[in-house]
Amino acid sequence: MRMRWIAALAVCALGCGVGLAQGAASTGLAMTPPMGWNSWNHFAGKVTEQDVKNAADALVSSGMRDAGYVYVNVDDTWQGTRDAQGVLHANDKFPDMKALGDYIHSKGLKFGIYSSPGPHTCARYEGSYGHEQQDADLYASWGVDYLKYDLCSYRELMSAGAADHPNDPDYANKMMKAAYVKMHEALEKTGRPIVFSLCQYGWDDVWTWGASVGGNLWRTTGDIKDNYDSMSKIGFGQAGLAKYAGPGHWNDPDMLEVGNGHMSADEYRTHMSLWALLAAPLLAGNDLSKMPDETKSILMNKGVIAVDQDRLGRQGDRVSQNGLLEVWSKPLSGGAVAVGLFNRGTSPAEMSVKLSDVGMSSAGKITDLWSGKMVKAKDGEVKASVPVHGVVLLRVEP
Ligand code: GLA
């Protein structure tokens, strides 16, 4: 049985992928990086329907929805068991998924869900293996707008498949692509526009093929943790990936930890600035129902969000690195450019950047996006004092 299934996948892997990049783009989904909230970073396996409703309420009352955060994504551990017809039911924590979707939609928000191509999710709940179309149809019937599809136990099938095909070194990779193609096609078949988020931790340079299997975004790394070391390793480790991102298909360095409590405000501003420069999805991962003003000010800085969501859809990249001091920039529409001066060190630093280094011959207006103040260039150069683990993020208009 397993062999037959693997063979079918392999055929698709060789033939199905090519036309799909256009398919993904033609849906017009995720033309800017998706923004919203996801349950995992704060609630993990404990998340309940009430937590999700509270998050939806808070997105509205805090102003986050109006700032662009519209997806309400339930991550792992909502799944129950399949009935005799194979239809998956949610577990006791989620009494009525259709009603939850309706609630989320009634607030002007969108509903996201989570599954795996394997038999089990990463938290060992029911996955979609062998039920892909049935699950896609179910999600559509619940009004789902976003699916995060997490490799998890499918890795075990890939290892078995590779072991059965010792002469094909690409066999596991082909299986992985085929699994994503299969769900992409199932989602397309529902007729409902559903953002497709690939989660496979950046394996096999997914940025080079994620769009071709229908992905609107793909995780480029392992899981983020709420500390500076994890966040900065992931964020600054994105250098060089800019060319793979664009409208409809984004690199995803994982969800935000802003507000989860284990980084300083400067570190969270670094997190937010870096993600904006990376044109990364902005999926808040904190408890939105208990947000201090400082957290709100970081998540809802309009100028920073505008950098992330700029309609040009270009990801930024590193411009220069001098020890623990880094300059990153991102081209924006209208000839503007966002520039981040980052201090990864443990003492405050004086930093400078030449306008010519970020492709500008001169600057009309320069705004410090965190202080809101205007900044002046002198002799074509901008200087800034950057705090420990902090950032100065500038918007430079031509
Ligand atoms: C993986 C993913 C996380 C989260 C968990 C849920 O670790 O990378 O983002 O979805 O699974 O189990």
Q: pLDDT (tens digit, 9 = 90+) per residue, 126-136? A: 999 999 999 99
Let me know if 346 is exposed, middle or buried by CB neighbors in 10 A (0-12, 13-18, 19+).
exposed
- How many Å apart are CA 281 and CA 276, to the nearest integer? 8
Helices 265-277 and 228-236 meet at what angle, rounded to 10?
20
Ligand 1 centroid from CA 112, angstroms: 14
Ligand 1 centroid from CA 378, angstroms: 47
| Region of 35 on the Ramachandran plot (φ > 0 left; ψ -120 to 50 alpha; else beta) | beta
* Ligand 1 atom having least distance to the Cα of 201: 8
Helices 132-142 and 97-106 meet at what angle, rounded to 10?
50
DSSP run (H or E) holding 141:
helix 132-142
The β-bridge partners of 217 are: 197, 250
pLDDT at position 17, please?
39
pLDDT at position 326, please?
98
pLDDT at 38 over 60: yes
Q: If pLDDT is split at 50, 70 and 90, which confidence band does 27 have?
A: low
Could you tell me the two tokens for 151? 């490799």
Q: If pLDDT is split at 50, 70 and 90, which confidence band does 24 have?
A: very low
pLDDT at 308 over 60: yes
- How many Å apart are CA 33 and CA 328, to the nearest integer? 19
pLDDT at position 253, please?
99
pLDDT digits (tens, 9 = 90+) for 341-392: 999 999 999 999 999 999 998 888 999 999 999 999 999 999 999 999 999 9
- How many Å apart are CA 276 and CA 283, to the nearest integer? 12
pLDDT at position 363, please?
81
- How many Å apart are CA 327 and CA 95, to the nearest integer? 49
Which of 26-35, 122-131, 301-310, 379-388 has the least mean pLDDT?
26-35
For atom 3 of ligand 1, the residue with the nearest CA is 223
Ligand 1 centroid from CA 329, angstroms: 30
pLDDT at position 7, please?
38
The residues carrying an active-site annotation are: 150, 223
Q: If pLDDT is split at 50, 70 and 90, which confidence band does 12 have?
A: very low
pLDDT at 113 over 70: yes
Ligand 1 centroid from CA 222, angstroms: 9
Q: If pLDDT is split at 50, 70 and 90, which confidence band does 23 have?
A: very low
pLDDT, mean over the chain: 94
| Ligand 1 in reach of 123 Cβ (< 6 A) | yes
What is the pTM (predicted TM-score) of this model? 0.94
| Ligand 1 in reach of 223 Cβ (< 6 A) | yes
pLDDT digits (tens, 9 = 90+) for 226-249: 999 999 999 999 999 999 999 999
User: How many residues are listed for the chain in this entry?
Assistant: 398
- How many Å apart are CA 336 and CA 344, to the nearest integer? 26
Judge whether 339 and 394 are in contact, CB under 8 Å.
yes
pLDDT digits (tens, 9 = 90+) for 255-290: 999 999 999 999 999 999 999 999 999 999 999 999
- How many Å apart are CA 97 and CA 109, to the nearest integer? 15
pLDDT at position 362, please?
85
| Ligand 1 in reach of 185 Cβ (< 6 A) | no
Domains of the chain listed by start with CATH number: 2-219 (3.20.20.70), 317-397 (2.60.40.1180)
pLDDT at 2 over 80: no
Provide, rounded to the nearest whole percent, the portion of the chain with pLDDT above 90: 92
- How many Å apart are CA 252 and CA 116, to the nearest integer? 17
42, 70, 284, 286 from 65: Cα distances, Å: 19, 5, 12, 15
DSSP run (H or E) holding 113:
strand 110-115
Going by C-alpha positions, the residue among 202, 260, 270 that lies closest to residue 236 is: 270
pLDDT at position 37, please?
99
Task: Count CA atoms within 13 Å of residue 126 on its CB side.
Answer: 17
pLDDT at 13 over 80: no
- How many Å apart are CA 36 and CA 102, to the nearest integer? 17
For atom 1 of ligand 1, the residue with the nearest CA is 122
Span 316-322, average pLDDT: 98
